[in-house]
Structure 1
Amino acid sequence: MSEVLVRCENVGKKFCRDLKSSLWYGVKDSLTDLFRRNQPAMAANTEPAGDAINKLRAGEFWANRNVSFELKRGQCLGLIGRNGAGKTTLLKMLSGLIKPDTGRIEVHGRTGALIALGAGFNPVLTGRENVFVNGSVLGVTKREMQRKLDEIVQFAEIEEFIDSPVRTYSSGMQVRLGFAIASTLEPDVLIIDEVLAVGDVGFRTKCYNRIFKLRNKASLIFVSHTMSHVDRLCSHAMVLHSGQCHFLGETNLAIDKYNTLFTSQAKPEQVAPGVEVHSVRFNGMENPQITTLSGADALTISMVTSLPSRVQELEVTVSFLDMSLDLISQASSRFVPSKLVTAKNPHVIKVHIPAINMGSGKRLLSIALVSSLTNEILYWGHGSWEMNVMNKVFVPTPSMLSAEFSLETAPG
């Protein structure tokens, strides 16, 4: 049976929005804790600490509440959620930087953490000196750090700057050094926040390869807004929403829950004055979500619109996004020789894509109408429709899809 290295039980943390009140509450809580420790007999006759700590005072809010999970050696937990969901607060409690107000945290073994950019570094000290300082904080002997130094410097690729003050490092260099230290010391628990997004593509690839190697020997907690990385690295995932555990389970199901939260908000739609969109159909249906297309299937989009007289030529772009609203592929009339010239309202805009050659998964569709002569955005439905793409084999997604465009006057 695998060893449990991280255990959280009903963990909660609250903060105060007002600085003065926060300082006063901190002093009051510290004195209360000290009083209870020194006067156990009197403490038995006062309000239980648990009851008091579970109450919010004026100006307070829960950053995390009732978060529970276990993480065994060899497992990687993905933490996903919107900005402000409580991910970084939870990581700080797990790494021991702040204390939880409620619940209990157990972390066994050596912990390596990469949470905030430049965290753990003294900007005045050189990179070499910071390596040894970080090692001593983790309980690593100077002799062992000396033995690991070359490997850390080579992995971070900062040989020329290791004896320069860290304050002269770029953000990418700080991330390189921080990850190299945290991962090279072979931690039992490795905590990684989304700071890896600062690094370049080559270094991120090195980091992910090392994470794969560490995953069998350690417990990993990984935070990212890139769902493909979470799906690739994590054995399971937790969705945090408003500081609470919204879902804990299989990674693909957690990503679906996250995307549901993300896309459940009203999707932005921009319509210029004088423009009306009467209908949009996908292969004859108004809701493309009920259709699953394979790479060999065609997609025809028909859009009935009324355009103002100031629009003489039209440019149409159809974009396919992943559920995080990142662009996957698109088709645009900008690259078609023939122009889409307006005539009498209402207009029927047709986009025919002969083959949906892209990877499998849920896709969001965006449609943009732009005046070719003035670049005025006439209509923009950003991620306003959802559809499913299913390919039995891996299909590399092209940046541009081949498509046919037409603009006609609607019959009748």
Structure 2
Amino acid sequence: MKSSLKYGALDIIKSTFGIAIKKDLRPKEFWAVKDISFTLRRGECIGLIGHNGAGKSTLLKILNGLYAPDKGQIVMKGKIGALIELGAGFNPILTGRENIYNNASILGFTRKDVEDKMESIIDFSEIGQFIDMPIQNYSSGMKVRLGFAIAAHLEPDILIIDEVLAVGDLGFVLKCFKKIDELLPHTALIFVSHSMPMVSRICNEIILMDHGQVEYYGNDIGKGIQLYYSKFANNDENIVFDNETLELISKETDLIQNIIHRNKDFTLTFKLKLKKTLSQTPVLYLEFKDKEQRPIAGLYVRNMTNISSDTNVIVYSVKIKNPLFTLGKYIADINLYDESDSTIFLRINNIFEFIVHGKEEQWVPFELESENIITLN
């Protein structure tokens, strides 16, 4: 069976009760969703990404029937499961078990279908001891567990997930992705998340939205993610700790416009003024982070040289050899400390921001050099 979704322009959003949102409540560009069209089939997963307010959740609510579009058409074939908002679709005064029956009936499943899967749903959610407690007493994580367990085990033809997995703990998130892998060959999946590792993990197509419109649509996940990250540039250097021992005088690089070319060495130079007497040169730790502020590489610059009484400037020159960063944006932080007792003197975040250029769009932070042999027998 083919599951397809097409959506045209939307000028006025209507609520579930048919009441139009007044235009004077918020500017039109904040909530309008316009000119969006895509097709999704079984075995495919499309990722919706964009800044808060880009229109992602609004689009999902339109697809799920919570809002009615004024223009265009939506064609969806099969049963639809949706995790759009935390606790959405749950009756708070009913128990978890009763809500399982309610959700299943909305999807068109019979009572017997649910009874056959009941124990499996409860086991997956890992909230068996609370299953007969009213939903209103559940924590946010418990609601996510139950909601995903219901949606996944009832095996809908189309599954819509909007950021709710961000609430779950790591163990449950990993279990969810394993279940998604099992469902995907038989399900069309629409996935919204601000976690780009999650998006790249399961999506084979991507839509980048900006103020209700599509800025990028395609199957180059890396390109879509890079465009997403480019919207959140941060060029501000930030001193997060300073005990008044060292002062950064200057920072220099031999890079042109801070552009790194793969496999080409580059140099960073830091000049610091001594404001207090030290016996030995501090260790400089240089750390590189990717777009999601995750540390991906680091190096130590140390030379335990005794400092004379007339020394007032220390210069650190760092040569990075054969950088293997892939395309995208990276930042560098520095930390200066006393290696003998780990006393921190100065820590500065985002001291440099780099762009890595190359021929192909990739999302992984770096590649590994290797020697490969392929043998045919």
TMscore range, shorter length: 0.7 to 0.9
In structure 2, the residue matched to 1:301 is 268
TM-superposed CA distance for 1:304, in Å, is: 2.9
In structure 2, the residue matched to 1:130 is 99
When structure 1 is superposed on structure 2, of 166-175 and 338-347 the one drifting more is: 338-347
The reply to whether residue 116 of structure 1 matches residue 93 of structure 2 is no
8 Å Cα contact 2:290/2:329 also seen in 1 = yes
TM-score, length of structure 1 as denominator length: 0.73
Greater helix share, structure number: 1
In structure 2, the residue matched to 1:405 is none
8 Å Cα contact 1:365/1:385 also seen in 2 = yes
The reply to whether residue 270 of structure 1 matches residue 247 of structure 2 is no
The 5 Å alignment of 1:11-410 reads: 11=10, 26=19, 59-62=26-29, 63=31, 64-249=33-218, 250-263=220-233, 266-270=234-238, 275-281=247-253, 284-285=254-255, 287=257, 289-293=259-263, 301-305=268-272, 307=273, 309-310=275-276, 312=278, 314=282, 316-331=284-299, 338=304, 344-351=311-318, 360=326, 362=328, 364-369=330-335, 377=346, 379-381=348-350, 384-387=353-356, 389-392=366-369
TM-superposed CA distance for 1:160, in Å, is: 1.9
Letter of the 1:309 counterpart: K
TM-score, length of structure 2 as denominator length: 0.79
In structure 2, the residue matched to 1:402 is none
TM-superposed CA distance for 1:186, in Å, is: 1.0
Per-residue Cα deviation, 1:295-341 (whole angstroms, up to 9, x for no partner): xx977532234x362585756332222223333343457xx794896
**Shift in alpha-carbon separation, 1:15–1:259, aligned structure 2, 3 A:** farther
Q: Quick one: percent identity of the two aligned structures? A: 34
8 Å Cα contact 1:5/1:188 also seen in 2 = no
Letter of the 1:326 counterpart: R
**Shift in alpha-carbon separation, 1:213–1:317, aligned structure 2, 3 A:** same
Per-residue Cα deviation, 1:45-82 (whole angstroms, up to 9, x for no partner): xxxxxxxxxxx667442322222222122211011112
Could you say what secondary structure the match of 1:330 adopts? strand
8 Å Cα contact 2:284/2:337 also seen in 1 = no
TM-superposed CA distance for 1:12, in Å, is: 5.0
Per-residue Cα deviation, 1:131-176 (whole angstroms, up to 9, x for no partner): 0111122222112111111111111122222112223322222111
Greater strand share, structure number: 1
Could you say what secondary structure the match of 2:129 adopts? helix
Q: How many residue pairs were aligned? A: 349
**Shift in alpha-carbon separation, 1:317–1:363, aligned structure 2, 3 A:** farther
1:213 and 1:189 map into 2 onto residues whose CA distance is 14
RMSD of the alignment, in Å? Answer: 3.6
